[in-house]
Amino acid sequence: MYENHRIAAVVPAYNEEKLITKVITTMPDFVDHIVIVDDKSSDATAERARSTGDPRVLVITHEKNTGVGGAIITGHRAALDLGADIDVVMAGDAQMDPSYLPALLDPIVHEGYGFAKANRFFSTGSYQGMPAYRVLGNIVLSFLTKFASGYWHMFDPQNGYTATRRDVLQRMPMHQLARRYSYENDVLINLNILRVPATDVPIPAVYGDEISSIKLRRVGPEIANLLFRGFWRRFLWKYVVHSFSPVALFVIGGLLLTLFGTAVGIWTIIETIGPPAATAGSVILAVAPFLLGMQMLMYALMLDIQESPDRPSAPPSRQLREDPLPPRAVRQVSSSPPAA
């Protein structure tokens, strides 16, 4: 245990037979459970994990590939059944340095955060050796995720080295979360809807012999689509359904005025092509609503930034468990692979 909290490490693994043993053997002693989710690997990932003989290891094998998000969701569900107070997600390719695990846990244990995430880019040296297009891609993706999720103080959204409190996981709609590489972005959006205090922790990545299976041409449109839909889902739930907020008035009114001003402006330009000149009234009718609408949208953006749940509102407390089962009994129930 870590500071009287039961810790479970969820490890999604796909074709990681070369590195999965290292992930398990370097896991700190205070980690109580190591849930390895073999996402229908074509190699000996599951066998290598079991061969370590570590009594903390629970290997779950998917019957079909569900993607990294699907594997993490399976692991979270198993960890909750095992009675974990905090779930930590660590990749099966040994990119996440376990020596930084206490730094990731401390904001939850001591400061009352519900979610903590590693950030590889806290220092300028983090970008050394990284191609310019990847630096630009990380900056653009981080900004778009800030806009969609509402966590304006967080960066490096694709970093999967995370820690989540038990009660937060119990509130998360896991059955609705994205199953593939947009999982991390979707989690941030849903955490903000639940108003969960979240924070970044400076943790460098470990690069070695791992081989990335990410295909940018496929992942890019997937993430962009999720962020667009996620923004409007967060807007509706957080600012309309849960509590009708001035943000909703500013966004709806600003969009209507901006669209009206743009439409009138286009109509005025078309009608005055050639000798006719636009009247002062036509120009005002186009410009005034457009400028007012843009101002309202800027106010909405500022209010959204202020609403970012970046600080706990209450001191940390022990997490409440719902119907806890003894760890051994749960281990026997969870040892059979669940449906993917």
What are residue 8's DSSP bridge partners? 33, 87
**Could you tell me if 319 and 232 lie in one domain?**
yes
List Cβ neighbours of 338 (8 Å cut-off, separation of 6 or more).
Answer: 60, 74, 77, 78
What average pLDDT does the structure give for the chain?
87
Range from 81-90, 108-117, 126-135, 149-158 carrying the lowest mean pLDDT = 126-135
**Could you tell me if 184 and 299 lie in one domain?**
no
pLDDT confidence bin for 216, thresholds 50/70/90: low
**Could you tell me if 35 and 147 lie in one domain?**
yes
**Could you tell me if 249 and 230 lie in one domain?**
no
**Could you tell me if 159 and 264 lie in one domain?**
no
Strands of the chain (E only): list them: 7-13, 33-38, 57-61, 86-89, 115-119, 162-165, 198-202
The residue whose two tokens read 């890019």 is: 220
pLDDT for residue 321 is more than 50: no
pTM: 0.84
pLDDT confidence bin for 129, thresholds 50/70/90: low
Please report the pLDDT score of residue 326 as a whole number.
42
User: 203 or 134, which is more confident?
Assistant: 203
What are the tens digits of pLDDT across the range 222-274?
899 999 999 999 999 999 998 888 999 999 999 999 999 999 999 999 988 87
Residue 181: name the closest of 91, 105, 112 by CA.
Answer: 91
pLDDT for residue 118 is more than 70: yes
**Could you tell me if 235 and 249 lie in one domain?**
no
H or E stretch covering 143? helix 132-149
Domain containing 248 equals 244-306
The residue whose two tokens read 């692979």 is: 337
CB atoms within 10 A of CB 226: 21
Q: Under a CB-based contact definition with an 8 Å cutoff, are residues 87 and 109 in contact?
A: no
What length is written for the chain?
340
**Could you tell me if 235 and 262 lie in one domain?**
no
User: 331 or 296, which is more confident?
Assistant: 296
Q: Assign residue 54 a region: left if phi > 0, alpha if psi is -120 to 50, beta otherwise?
A: beta
Please report the pLDDT score of residue 208 as a whole number.
58
Query: Does a structural domain hold residue 1?
Result: no
Query: Does a structural domain hold residue 285?
Result: yes
